[in-house]
Structure 1
């Protein structure tokens, strides 16, 4: 231990205060539970006030009722986040066998979540598009603005729909041979779906609708507790983060370049079948 400590501090008398300590081992076990709970807190902070406001608008006749697919998506996402919290807690408390059994449920939930997401996006878009087509002249400008925003948001939805299952697949594939990659990648996959909740936290500064930059920055901020602990604990950046950044950063550049361009709006309308 003294030799290891000397390698990091340059002295024999001062040891690394984290390596091998009970506190470090506790954090190693519970950091992933904290991340799952942290993600749930982010989603609830964004969606609870937003949902209350929109339910009030529905009751007042200011907006149409929520489509059933939106309720399905909410239930599936909530179930997935709760399962992530359960799975991380099971591993933190040493119940690996039950964790592995519940993993099958996680795969089923993930497939259902992605499938419903690809139904939800066009459903919500066409709701506004159809309203625009039948709106009186004095309401068209506002609805056109909403359509434009939804076409831009489609970029973020496509990113989630592609990268969320991709990172999950990497994590699931690593479950038997690389536990460190597996548990980190499950967290890094889940964070891809968080922008929907983050964007609804009204008191956060945002670059939306002008730019999606704030989405990228808040997503990195959301994983920072786990990332910072890993670097402090292991004195290096784990392979999982290199994979995650290698994929997400180029995609983020593409999203930022396409955002609110005429070419993207035309492409979005073709994707939605209204071009």
Structure 2
């Protein structure tokens, strides 16, 4: 077994339970991205797994966001390419999410807590998303730090919500509750918190009972209907657009550094990240 530092992985009855456990806020840093990259890169060939459920050990944070350190050190972000599947034509987060989206298995995000930026992009790259109502909040926070989503957000979000709502989410950088996300089509369902585990378990077990060939074929057929444009090519266009705003200007980098120094990546700061950034 691979020695994961930030994941707990168990497999039973065709379902892999992947618990993200990277205190204090499940920050998408080198450690967590490396673990996710290894898991996604190897599970593709695991015939014992038909469904994968991603969940968090931290009820306050599913995945916080990509480490703000990469704003100040873009070379460290580029170095992540060696930790994720891909041929290097996309940026590391795009490669990670494309690999996740391309898995032959059915993937489910079981959402509690906050997921912003790259954390939300990761969830959108899964096949199904279920959230605890009143306990889950989602956003693409990048506009608040002077850039745009660059890990697939500009391509995945409009496919779920439509153009107008995607632009609203991306350019406001606001935090959305699970009920609104359900209304927007961002997630499959917002369910009462006490029902979330049972709901996801029932869906996972039902789908895990299908033949692997059925799952793969269904994903390919649906993607063919909904994605007339190749996702890899679309991600390439997103990368080109991101290059116009990242690396960010020095004043934006300094603002983000002040926010981090003020606790933006601590549990308390992450609970109110939007205002933490605004105050920086």
Q: TM-score range by the shorter chain?
A: under 0.3
Alignment TM-score, normalising by the size of structure 2? 0.24
Alignment TM-score, normalising by the size of structure 1? 0.24
Larger proportion of helix: 1
